[in-house]
Structures are given as C-alpha cells and as structure tokens.
Chain A
Amino acid sequence: MIKLEGVSKIYKGEHMALRDATVEIEKGEFVFLVGSSGSGKSTFLRLLNRSETPEKGVIHVAGKDIGSLPSYRVPYLRRNIGTIFQDFKLLPNKTVYENVAFALEAIGRPKSAIREAVPQILDLVGLSKKEGSYPNELSGGEQQRVSIARAFINRPLILLADEPTGNLDPATSVGIMKLLDRINRTGTTVVMATHDRGIVDTMRRRVIELDRGRIVRDQARGVYE
C-alpha cells in the first residue's frame, strides 16, 4: 500500500527532516510513528499525500509512484487518503454536518449522495445528535470525531493521523483510538504519528521509530521505547 525507497527530505538547506528512509507498509496495517519532536514524523506523513516532495528517493502509494504524478492529479491521490490533525482543522463557521458534507462538496459529489452519506458517518463516529452544533460548542474529543468523520467519509484506502490525541485527555484519547481501530478493521491502512506512550504500549501494533530523520527501529507488535 505504501512503499518508500531511499527517501530523503531536506528543508531549505537546513537539516535533513528524513534521511534515506526505506520502509513498506501493507494494506490494512496499523502503524505508529514515534520519536521526539523534529524527528521527522510529520514530514513522513506529509510526503505520503504529497504535501511535500522528497529531494531523493521514490514513494509508492496504492501502487503509484506519486513523485511522477502531475500536479493536477494530486487531488485525486488525496481523495484516497484521509488526514486528521492534532488541531482538527474544522471550519468554525460551519456546523458539524456542514463540516463533514464539505469534504464531499469539495470533490463535486451530488447533493443526494451527500444527504445519504453524512448521517451514516456521523452515526459511525457517534455524533448523530450533534450535527447542528458548531465546533466551538463541542469538546476536543467530539471535534476530533468530526474531523475523523470528514477524513473517512470517502472511505479512503489510507488514513494519516498526525498526533490525533495530542490535545486530548487520556480517557478521551482511548475513545478516539477505539474509533481509529474500528476504521482500521474495515481494511483502511492507518499511519499515526504520536507521542502518547500509553496508547502505543496498550495497542501493541507495528512501531516505526524516527530519530533525527532516520528510521532507527521497525518493530511488529512494538512498544513506545
């Protein structure tokens, strides 16, 4: 599903955010990316949906060399990759329903399809009763559920999560992880960058550790350290 071969990313002559990374992630895997701040976790994720392009190396996503993708094709790549963030990136002037529907409007889905899909996905993330609320009326955990609903409504092949529990308390984080686990069980590959030791040690999934841009550990059923 995801394959990196000798990938290096250098930011404007500064440090190397990623050095010669070679790794393969199978369809349906759940992978944790761990490492200290600035170790290259976010860069790793940003390379996968071509928010960044590598200086060296080849990246295959869903069987395609995404480096050779012309820029007008990049949106179609992203339709197969859901992304969630620590800060949720919800639109404050739209309701829960509108935030989720926006993901479908933006790719030109017909209204009838949107009316059908949004309530379904809100039910999946457990927010059916909050569809008329605005983001600032929701708790952090609820906001992250909205962002997951938005990322997953297209049933993407891959879900990228950049510290999704970074702003949440432990109890809420458990709920979010249960949701991500459920999504993973539908066959969606999940790659999650995290600092949350408790989550990694409890879930016991594959762990890839980065240190100053280098992959220093790749462990099946791994732990945080």
Chain B
Amino acid sequence: MAIRLDYVVKETGSNLVRNITLTLASVLTVAIALAFVGVSHLIGVGIEGSFGGLQSDVRMFVYMNPTASAEQIESVRKALEESPQVDSIVFLDQTETYKEFKRLFKDQPDFVESINPEELPQSFRIKPKSTDTEVVSAVGKEFEDLPGVYKVEYASKLASDIKRSLDTLNGWITKFGFALIAVSVMLIFNTIRTAVFARRREIEVMRLVGASNWFIRLPFIVEGMVQGLIGAIIAAGLTWSFDVLWHRNFVNQRGLDLLNNITWETGNLIFAVVMVLTVGAVAGAIGSGVAVGRYLRA
C-alpha cells in the first residue's frame, strides 16, 4: 500500500519541531563537519595547483633540447634508468608539456598564444633515491653533458619540503574530516533514537492496528535525511562564501605570494558543494536508518 506523502511530510515536520534542541545540535554538527570538509577540499585542490602538480619526491628535472633527436632522448632515458641513484622517472613529451604550460600561464593567454608546442623542451622528472641535495646535484652533473640535454634543474628544497609538509597536513585534515562526519552520523542516530522513544506510545498503537513497518519507519528516516540535508545546505553555503571571500582577499591581490597562488576553478567549487550535499543526505539516512533498524524491530 502506498504511503501518503502528506502524512510523511506532516510527521517529519512535527518530529523535527518537537525535538528542536537535538535537531539543532545535529544540523549544526553536520553543517560544521561538512563545511570543514568542503573548505579543506578546496584548499587542498588549490595547494596541489599552486605547486604545479609537483610531486613532493620529484627533485630533479632533465630538460632536452627542442631539437633533440629521438635517439638522443632514448639514450638519456636509458642512462637514467640504469643509474643506481635514480628511483623512478616520468617522461613529459611535447603534448603534456604544452598542457602544463597552458595551465601555469593561464593568466597570460597572449603569451600562451605566442608559443608553439614544438618549441617546448621535452623533459624527464626524476625521483632520486637520496633526498640529500648534494648527492642529487652530483647525480645531475652526470647527465648535463649528454648529447641533446639542454639543462638539468633541481626542485628547490624549500618548495618540496613545504609541499611534503602540506601533504602530511592534508592527510591529517582528511582524517579529521572523516571523524567529524562520523560524529554527525552518531548525533543523528541519537536524535532519531530519542524521537522514536518520544513516540513509543504512538508506535505501539500503530503496530496494534496493523501499520506496515515502512509506514512506521519512513518518517524517522526522512527526518534524519532532512537533518543531514539542512546541515549540508548550510555547509554548502559556507563553502561557497569561503570561495568568494578567498578570491576577493587573496587571489591576484597584493599580499603573501604563497596564498595568492592557492586557487581553484569553479568546477572544483561545484564538485565540493555537490559532495557536501550528498554526504549530508547519506549521513542522515545512515544515522537514522541504523537507529530505526535497531529500535523499531518488527
């Protein structure tokens, strides 16, 4: 038998109001947790971008002459692969180099226009076994004079150290975000359990007169989802505001270079908002679903 929509709306609404303090606690916890997740996602994307996709363990670049022949490139690759000091290498051909070039200089389209992909040097990115700067530059020397090599460059130690620290920090932030989401789910679980308890007499009567299990459960599950979703909508709003404020205050502004370079695309923002809304609704459904399954056993 179909469950009437107006019944579910009415019951959910009155439950939400009846339990207003707990409902607010759940909603605000979800909002804070998800705003944290959304904002840290954007910052993470921004940091990744500002370091030009630099892997924290890539420390050496070997640039080839634009005119280098395929044989020359092949022999440099072979020398790199055979070197005992090299852990791994990645080769960037002209297409990939151009892609990266366009990304790095996207603020200067005229400059990008003026460059022909053919003129860009192909390069190897090398992860050495040692992290010691002196050892790495000694390794680099071996390759400088090979035919076709334009120049060997080293990642600045500071940049890669910062990047490595930020990666670690990012890992912590992600774990903290998961912990906050877990707390939200538990709070929603508790709120719904309380709601079930508050309505135990009605539930007993419903059982008695033959209300179906889903008829009894659905308003509670919807209540949990609504709590998750309202929290998520607030979080999405906060994430959005953060995006606006960040761009207004830091991006392409005078001030600390490090912050000015941290930016992201509208697509990243949309992804963050959609993610926040989805996680909110799912967290609400899980919290209330578990509560209902446990306290409304048929």
Binding site for B on A (CB under 8 A): 49, 71-72, 74-80, 83, 89, 91, 102-103, 105-108, 150-151, 154
Contact = CB atoms under 8 A, between A and B. Distances in A.
The interface centre, meaning the residue of B2, B210, B212, B213 with most chain A CB atoms within 10 A of its CB, is: B210
Given A71-B213, A75-B212, A75-B213, A106 B206 contact: yes
Interface string B2-14: 1110010000000
B12 to A, nearest CB: 15
Contacts of A102: 202, 205-206, 209
Contacts of B208: 49, 78, 83, 89
Contact of A76 (B7, B204, B210): B210
A135 to B, nearest CB: 11
A72 B216 CA distance: 12
Contacts of B207: 75, 78
B214 to A, nearest CB: 9
A2 B210 CA distance: 19
Contact of B201 (A78, A79, A89, A105): A89
Contacts of B169: none
- Looking at chain A's contact residues, is the secondary structure mostly helix, strand, loop, or mixed? helix
B215 A108 contact: yes
Nearest to A80: B210
- Looking at chain B's contact residues, is the secondary structure mostly helix, strand, loop, or mixed? helix
Contact of A107 (B202, B211, B298): B211
Nearest to B203: A106
Contacts, number: 61
B210 A89 contact: no
A108 B298 contact: no
Contact of A78 (B1, B2, B210): B210
Contact of A71 (B7, B204, B298): B298
A108 B4 contact: yes
Contact of A106 (B2, B201, B209, B298): B209
Contacts of A76: 210, 212
A64 to B, nearest CB: 14
A72 B201 contact: no
Contacts of A75: 207, 210-213
A74 B297 CA distance: 13
Counting from the closest, the 4 A-B pairs by CB-CB distance are: A79-B210, A78-B210, A106-B211, A103-B209
Nearest to B208: A83
Contacts of A105: 7
Interface string B202-236: 10111111111101000000000000000000000
A180 to B, nearest CB: 17
Contacts of B1: 107-108
